[in-house]
Amino acid sequence: MVHETLFAQHFWKDSNRTLSYYLENMQGYQSAKKVLKEMKPDQVIEEVKKANLRGRGGAGFPMGMKWSFIPKASEKPKYLVCNADESEPGTCKDRQIMRYTPHVLIEGLLIGSYAIGCKHAYIYIRGEYVREAKLLNEAIDEAYEKGYLGKNIFDSGYDLDITVHRGAGAYICGEETGLLNSLEGKRGEPRVKPPFPAISGAFSCPTAVNNVESIANVPYLIRMGGEAFAQLGKIDKSGGTRLISLSGHIKTPGVYEIQAGSMTIRQIIDELGGGIIGGKKLKAVIPGGSSSPILTADEIDVVYDVEPLMKVGTMMGSAAIMVIHEDTDLVKLLLRITKFYAHESCGQCTPCREGCHWMESILHKILHGEARPTDLELLVDVAQNIGGKTLCALGDAAAGPVISFVKKFRPEFESYIKGQKKYA
Amino acid sequence: MTKLLSEKFYTAMKKLEPRYPTKKALILPALHQAQEEYGWLPKEVLGEVAEYIGVHSAQIREVASFYTMYNLNPVGKNHLKICTNVACCLRGADELMNFAEKKLGIKCGETTADGMFSLTEEECLGACTTAPAMMANDDYIEELDVNKLNQYIEKMKASK
């Protein structure tokens, strides 16, 4: 099937990131010009709502609605913060946008900032993306030079500055309030909500936090119109395209773009990924980053989008599919995932801080043949007592894999406990 | 007291100041800049950053210790950070880590006696579709295998 794509045709070529390429080949800054000259902020938000643009960072929240929560009457400065933390294991799509099409992100920020009344937008980028931060800064400089940023943009009287803010290695800073604390120069610990960022976010001011891909879609949806953008999606309530990070035991791993809801996971693996490496059999799929509950090989005939995945008990998350073949030891893999969450737990909430370490320790015992028969129940019990009992979603992110791995691949855990299988 | 951080640090910070509504927001950029000059963040440097921001040095340490990229202890000239998270794990990251430990004669988390190499395990780097990956100081090296890793280490050894 041929997909209409917005981004992918511009990827993988370094020379495509320049402003001149953007202006010549991608109708660069035309959407922003139209918005600033002809549209009112409310009309922009209406268009985004019509487009059915769901957040691309993980939660899938409708972006137009998020923007409409920013109180217009507030006297305080308002902020648009782009979440470029991209830290969910398996995900590397935003990196490609920043590398190859940075101007589409900048233009999206310009339109979004105008829509919510923001005069200074921040891009919070994960610290490890040193190169991408540099590329973004170069693109921002180009935009200032040509008057697409700065004072009185397109003679509209509207001013905008954009600053790139580097993180320093903390998964939790992908959580929006952790990110905001980090932006303010604090430890990246998530905040108690409410108040939500729309009311009190960055520097205690109304703030919208949106993922890179979400914001980068805005210039397209303005150009084609919200309704046409919505129709790019082949499923209700999900407009546009989706960038998918396809990794693991796959012949051609990569970042692919599909029209939202147009393929099942099986089709993505076979048609885009070229099938499993080494002629092996598929064992399992982690469909939306490492925190999404695992699917067995029999469960992958599901349309790859937010709601169909929710119906089968997992989630699309950041659209990171990790493919796992038959030779993989899932006990070992779950220990690795759990170790990650234990390491990244910020430590504020007891169930997450203690629970993640207990899960790691129990899994370690199981893998090394030191567990008691009751430890598997204990493991699930700990996981169930983390889920829903923490300030942010990290607790649920850690619990989901544990519960789903044990439920769907129980015999693998039992064979270690019974001593039938030894750690190699 | 003589300043440890260079003029370059203070110039870079001055340029950033108008871009944030509070001075505290400059803590992360300041720590990055300071580490770029020093390679790591000794107590005295944290103290000078604190003085610049106008907070107690304990507050700077509180922030710095939260983030894995700030080195609160010295690291080798070449800091190899091998990602061992899910996607890299599925593509042979464990083998790479074992190889690096043997090749460098150190365990993960250690630095070679000559200060040339530090080896650490890294959480997901966001290079999952080009796994396995590692960071060597600020650079990404992707689609790694033992051969490529070996060549890289040899090259760094030769460029003493």
**Average pLDDT for A54-62:** 93
Query: Residues of A with CB below 8 A from B20's CB?
Result: 163
What share of chain B in percent tops pLDDT 90?
A: 97
Angle formed by the axes of helices B7-16 and B27-38, nearest 10°: 160
Q: Sign of the C-alpha dihedral, residues A210, A53, A8, A300?
A: positive
Q: Look at B19 and A163 and tell me if their CB atoms are within 8 Å.
A: yes
Q: Which domains does chain B have, with CATH numbers?
A: 7-66 (1.10.10.1590), 78-158 (3.40.30.10)
Residue A328 has pLDDT above 80, yes or no: yes
Distance CA A345, CA A329 (A): 25
**How far B106 CA lies from chain A's nearest CA (Å)?**
22
pLDDT, tens only, B41-79: 999 999 999 999 999 999 999 999 999 999 999 999 999
For residue A225, pLDDT over 60 is answered with yes
pLDDT in tens, B95-112: 999 999 999 999 999 999
Please give, rounded to a whole number of angstroms, the shortest distance from the CA of B73 to a CA of chain A: 16
B135: which chain A residues are within 8 Å (Cβ-Cβ)? Answer: 128
User: What residues of A are in contact with residue B89 (Cβ under 8 Å)?
Assistant: 333, 336
B2 pLDDT tier (thresholds 50, 70, 90): confident
Render pLDDT for A260-296 as a digit per residue (tens, 0 to 9). 999 999 999 999 999 999 999 999 999 999 999 999 9
DSSP A151-210: EEETTTTEEEEEEEEE--S-GGGGSHHHHHHHHTTS--PPPPSSSPTTTS-GGGS-EEEE
% of chain A at pLDDT higher than 70: 100
Q: Taking the C-alpha atoms of A238, A243, A244 and A247 in order, what is their torsion angle to the nearest 10 degrees?
A: -170
pLDDT of residue A292: 96
d(CA A351, CA A356): 8
Q: Give the pLDDT band (50/70/90) at residue B159.
A: confident
Q: Which residues of B touch A169 (CB under 8 A)?
A: 67-70, 123
Mutation pick from A119, A124, A247, A335 vs chain B, by most beta carbons of B within 10 Å, is A247
pLDDT class of A297 with cuts at 50, 70, 90: very high
Kindly list the distances between the CA atom of residue A16 and the CA atoms of A26, A124, A227, A256, A301, in Å, as whole numbers in the listed order. 10, 23, 28, 18, 36
**ipTM of the prediction:** 0.96
Helix (H) or strand (E) holding B146: helix B146-158
Inter-residue contact A264 to A304 (CB < 8 Å): yes
Contact A187, B66 (CB under 8 A): yes
Calculate mean pLDDT across residues A117-122: 98
pLDDT of residue A2: 63
Chain-centroid distance, C-alpha A266: 22
Check if B24 contacts A (Cβ < 8 Å). Answer: yes
**Predicted local confidence at residue A1, as pLDDT:** 56
CA distances from B91 to A93, A94, A402, B108, B131 (A): 19, 22, 22, 19, 6
A351-364 burial string, b = 16+ CB within 10 Å, else e?
bbbbbbbbbbebbe
* Mean pLDDT over the full length of chain A: 96
Is residue B1 scored above 70 in pLDDT? no
Q: What confidence score (pLDDT) does residue A3 get?
A: 76
- Decide if B90 touches A, using CB distance below 8 A: yes
pLDDT at B140: 97
Query: For residue A284, what is the enclosing H or E element?
Result: strand A282-286
- DSSP 3-state assignment of A120? strand
| Residues B117/B76, Cβ–Cβ less than 8 Å | yes
